[in-house]
Amino acid sequence: MKIAILGTGLMGAPMALNLIKEGFTVTVWNRSPGKTAALEAAGAVRAETPALAAADKDVVIIMVTDGSAVRDVLFSQGAAEHMSRGATVIDMSSIRPAEARDHARRLAEMGIGHIDAPVSGGTRGAETGSLAIMAGGEEAVFAGVGKIFDAMGHAILLGPPGSGQFAKLANQAIVAITVGAVAEATLMVREAGIDPERFRAVLKGGFADSVILQQHGARMQAGDFAPGGRSSLQLKDLENVLAECEAMGLSLPLTTLQRDRFSELVNRLGGGDLDHAALFLELLNRNKLAQ
Residue 145 Cβ vs a second copy, minimum distance, rounded to whole Å: 16
Return the residues of window 48-77 that contact a second copy according to CB under 8 A.
none
Query: Quick one: 53 or 185, whose CB is closer to a second copy?
Result: 185
Q: Residue 63's closest CA among 99, 103, 117?
A: 117
Q: Please tell me the distance from the alpha carbon of residue 42 to that of residue 44, in angstroms, as a whole number.
A: 6
Q: Please tell me the distance from the alpha carbon of residue 235 to that of residue 19, in angstroms, as a whole number.
A: 31
CB atoms within 10 A of CB 1: 15
Select from 19-27, 47-55, 141-149, 184-192 the region that touches a second copy (CB under 8 A). Answer: 184-192
CA distance from start to end of the chain: 52
| Residue 168 a catalytic site member | yes
Residues in the interface with a second copy (CB under 8 A) total 73
Say which DSSP state 44 is in: P
Select from 3-11, 28-36, 107-115, 237-245 the region that touches a second copy (CB under 8 A). Answer: 237-245
Q: Residue 138's closest CA among 160, 120, 156, 121?
A: 160
Select from 32-40, 41-49, 63-71, 152-160 the region that touches a second copy (CB under 8 A). Answer: 152-160
Q: 38, 45, 245, 269: which one contacts a second copy (CB under 8 A)?
A: 245
Residue 37 Cβ vs a second copy, minimum distance, rounded to whole Å: 30
Asked if residue 98 binds a second copy (CB under 8 A), the reply is no
Catalytic residue among 2, 168, 236, 288: 168
Q: Is the peptide bond before 270 cis (omega within 30 degrees of 0)?
A: no
Q: Which residues are catalytic?
A: 168
